[in-house]
């Protein structure tokens, strides 16, 4: 029982070490990697190279896939480019297998303790704490590998007649290969870590519990299993995200099919590369672990070399399988980019949340367009339909704010860089102010309903001022969405402040004119009240928009850093 607990604990420590190491690397190089991913996908070959480099850099094919999907969602990458990046990510993830094999090749505890010491010191000194986090995660990873190797030796499965007899009952034929492939797929989908399953496979092979053929079948299953969770997560995502996840699955399934067709000759070829005889009675743990890592690398390299020429065809297949949602299914009242839990890495989740905020701003602009239509609506049925749509948008703004806030709250629970924490605080402020913009637009709709119920007609002067206010409001919203969707370094707050000041001046001018107009009986007091309520609500909206921009740009009204 103690040995089993040590085995399970080592696997848990291995997964934790990979997670800490990957997140630390993303903190150090996340923005640069996103820039690299967006800039170096001009053709299929650079796309593959970029996917491999990014995955090696962050030691996580999941992180690369997440970035790729977010870029597709943001229309920064086409589906075709994304497929090439994912092919490269499959090559890059083979680095993890080589790290595992190194852990089974020599006593790595000699490296672990100095790495632990340096890592803890850097974390405590805080100046280079992300490097410390990386060393800390790497130390846990290497320590877990050492424990797995030791535990495998203690298990001595090859010396247990019952275990030997059990695995010997599986003949080396296609039926056994398919069975172990299925087991590898299911276990990887359950554990959600192909690296952990690779380590377990190496333990089983090195202890003699399973043959190299069965071990390679498990590795093949791991390649399929690692795509299952992404496809499940993408079920509730948008069309392009689901197509990208399906392309990843098709890539690995195709690879498994051609390897199965030439399974035994291909395994002998891989064994020959590392100088191992697969039919020998005994093999060293080093040979076995290197063979598994070599197979994993050859599998992905050859698969990519073949399929890179058929990316357009893969694109057509996934587009045929996954049709665009209908208008009803593509309900605008849902989160688009952070729905379904695709994001697993905190540093990159912030980028996805920013895309959701951009969509939030665009929806508020659509809501304002509905308010303008409501202002000009003459038929009761048309007015009622528009008012109900505005009510739904107001409810939408509440739900979007709540969804993004909960998502950012989950992201904030992780160990984040100071820069990312500041971004999250700014985003929380942005969504709060955008929700207030939605409330103001709903209030404008209610004022217009009051005007209609009381049969109030505006004078030409009121219509003139109202038209000017509408134009200023539209300019303010357009400037806000430009800042939200672009690089904040390219945007300056002064132009938006100028618009906001003009809104304030128009409001003040109308206050004075309204008093004299009512006194001179140009229109009734009730008409003046309804009109000024509209103008005041527009002025409040202008303030909320400026608050959104301040949060986005990190400056206050005086253009000073917050």
Pick 229 or 199 by higher pLDDT. 199
Pick 52 or 22 by higher pLDDT. 52
3-class secondary-structure state, position 332: coil
Residue 471's pLDDT is what?
A: 92
DSSP 30: H
3-class secondary-structure state, position 551: helix
pLDDT(336) > 90: no
Convert 189-239 into a string of H (helix), E (strand) and C (coil).
HHHCCHHHHHHHHHHHHHCCCCCHHHHHHHHHHHHHHHHHHHHHHHHHCCH
Average pLDDT for 186-208: 76
Which tokens hold the place of 472? 């200023």
pLDDT(88) > 90: no
CA 42 to chain centroid, in Å, comes to: 22
Highest mean pLDDT among 27-41, 223-237, 502-516: 502-516
C-alpha span between 87 and 90 (Å, rounded): 5
Average pLDDT for 192-197: 72
Residue 469's pLDDT is what?
A: 92
For residue 391, what are the CA distances in angstroms to 396, 456, 492, 555? 9, 22, 33, 33
Q: Which residue has the tokens 């040995």?
A: 3
pLDDT(168) > 70: no
As beta bridge partners, residue 122 has: none
Residue 130's pLDDT is what?
A: 76
Residue 40's pLDDT is what?
A: 60
Check if the beta carbon of residue 60 is closer than 8 Å to that of residue 36: no
pLDDT tens for each residue of 57-66:
666 666 666 6
Average pLDDT for 40-51: 76
Q: What are phi and psi of 561, to 5 degrees?
A: -55, 140
Burial of 278 (0-12, 13-18, 19+ CB in 10 A): middle
Which tokens hold the place of 240? 């392009």
| Structural domains in the chain, sorted by start | 2-321 (no CATH), 346-553 (1.20.58.220)
Check if the beta carbon of residue 517 is closer than 8 Å to that of residue 523: yes
460-485 helix and 494-519 helix, angle to the nearest 10 degrees: 160
By residue count, the chain amounts to 562
Pick 331 or 115 by higher pLDDT. 115
pLDDT tens for each residue of 533-562:
999 999 999 999 999 999 988 866 554 444
Which tokens hold the place of 377? 């609506």
Average pLDDT for 329-351: 56
CA 171 to chain centroid, in Å, comes to: 43
Please give the mean pLDDT across all residues of the chain: 80
The rounded percent of the chain whose pLDDT value lies above 90 is: 19
pLDDT(215) > 70: yes
pLDDT(330) > 60: no
Highest mean pLDDT among 107-121, 140-154, 535-549: 535-549
Burial of 240 (0-12, 13-18, 19+ CB in 10 A): buried
The rounded percent of the chain whose pLDDT value lies above 70 is: 78
pLDDT(285) > 80: no
Residue 340's pLDDT is what?
A: 45
Check if the beta carbon of residue 236 is closer than 8 Å to that of residue 340: yes
pLDDT(326) > 60: no
Confidence of residue 508 (pLDDT cuts 50, 70, 90): very high
Residue 76's pLDDT is what?
A: 62
Average pLDDT for 484-495: 81
Q: Is the pTM of this model over 0.85?
A: no
Which tokens hold the place of 121? 């010191």
Residue 539's pLDDT is what?
A: 92
Name 114's Cβ contacts closer than 8 Å, sequence gap at least 6. none
- Strand extents, DSSP E, 298-426: none
pLDDT tens for each residue of 363-395:
999 999 999 999 888 888 899 999 999 998 898
Confidence of residue 211 (pLDDT cuts 50, 70, 90): confident
């Amino acid at each position: 029982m103690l040995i089993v607990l040590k085995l399970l604990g080592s696997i848990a420590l291995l997964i934790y070490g990979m997670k800490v190491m990957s997140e630390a690397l993303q903190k150090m190089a996340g923005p640069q990697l996103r820039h690299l991913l967006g800039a170096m996908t001009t053709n299929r070959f650079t796309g593959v190279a970029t996917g491999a480099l990014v995955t090696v850099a962050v030691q996580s094919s999941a992180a690369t896939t997440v970035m790729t999907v977010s870029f597709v969602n943001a229309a920064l990458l086409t589906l075709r480019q994304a497929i090439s990046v994912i092919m490269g990510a499959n090559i890059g993830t083979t680095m993890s297998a080589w790290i595992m094999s190194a852990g089974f090749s020599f006593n790595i505890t000699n490296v672990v303790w100095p790495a632990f010491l340096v890592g803890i010191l850097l974390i405590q000194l805080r100046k280079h704490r992300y490097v410390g986090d990386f060393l800390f995660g790497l130390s846990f990873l290497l320590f877990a590998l050492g424990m797995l190797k030791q535990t495998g030796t203690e298990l001595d499965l090859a010396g247990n007649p019952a275990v030997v007899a059990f695995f010997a009952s599986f003949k080396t034929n296609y039926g056994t290969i398919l069975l172990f492939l299925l087991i590898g797929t299911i276990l990887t989908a359950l554990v959600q870590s192909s690296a952990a399953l690779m380590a377990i496979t190496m333990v089983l092979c090195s202890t003699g519990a399973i043959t190299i053929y069965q071990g390679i079948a498990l590795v093949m299953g791991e390649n399929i299993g690692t795509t299952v969770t992404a496809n499940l997560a993408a079920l509730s995502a948008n069309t392009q995200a689901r197509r990208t996840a399906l392309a990843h699955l098709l890539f690995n399934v195709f690879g498994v099919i051609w390897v199965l067709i030439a399974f035994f000759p291909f395994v002998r070829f891989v064994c020959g590369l590392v100088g191992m005889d697969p039919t020998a009675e005994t093999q060293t743990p080093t040979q076995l672990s290197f063979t598994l890592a070599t197979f994993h690398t050859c599998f992905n390299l050859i698969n990519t070399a073949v399929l890179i020429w058929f990316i357009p065809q893969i694109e057509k297949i996934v587009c045929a399988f996954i049709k665009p949602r209908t208008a009803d299914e593509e309900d605008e009242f849902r989160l688009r980019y952070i729905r379904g839990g695709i994001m697993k890495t905190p540093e990159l989740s912030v980028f996805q949340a920013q895309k959701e905020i951009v969509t939030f701003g665009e929806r508020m602009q659509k809501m304002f367009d509905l308010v303008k239509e409501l202002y000009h609506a003459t038929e009761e049925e048309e007015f009622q339909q528009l008012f109900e749509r505005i009510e739904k948008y107001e409810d939408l703004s509440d739900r979007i704010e709540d969804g993004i806030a909960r998502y950012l709250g989950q992201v904030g629970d992780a160990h984040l860089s100071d820069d990312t924490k500041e971004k999250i605080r700014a985003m929380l402020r942005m969504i709060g102010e955008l929700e207030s913009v939605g409330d103001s637009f709903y209030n404008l709709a209610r004022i217009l309903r009051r005007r209609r119920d009381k049969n109030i007609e505006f004078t030409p002067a009121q219509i003139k001022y109202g038209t000017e206010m509408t134009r200023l409001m539209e300019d303010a919203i357009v400037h806000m969405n430009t800042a939200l969707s672009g690089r904040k370094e390219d945007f300056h707050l002064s132009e938006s402040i100028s618009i906001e000041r003009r809104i304030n001046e128009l409001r003040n001018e109308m206050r004075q004119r309204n008093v004299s107009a009512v006194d001179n009986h140009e229109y009734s007091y009730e008409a003046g009240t309804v009109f000024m309520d509209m103008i005041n609500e527009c002025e409040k909206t202008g303030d909320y928009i400026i608050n959104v921009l301040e949060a986005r740009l990190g400056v206050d009204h005086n253009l000073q850093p917050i």
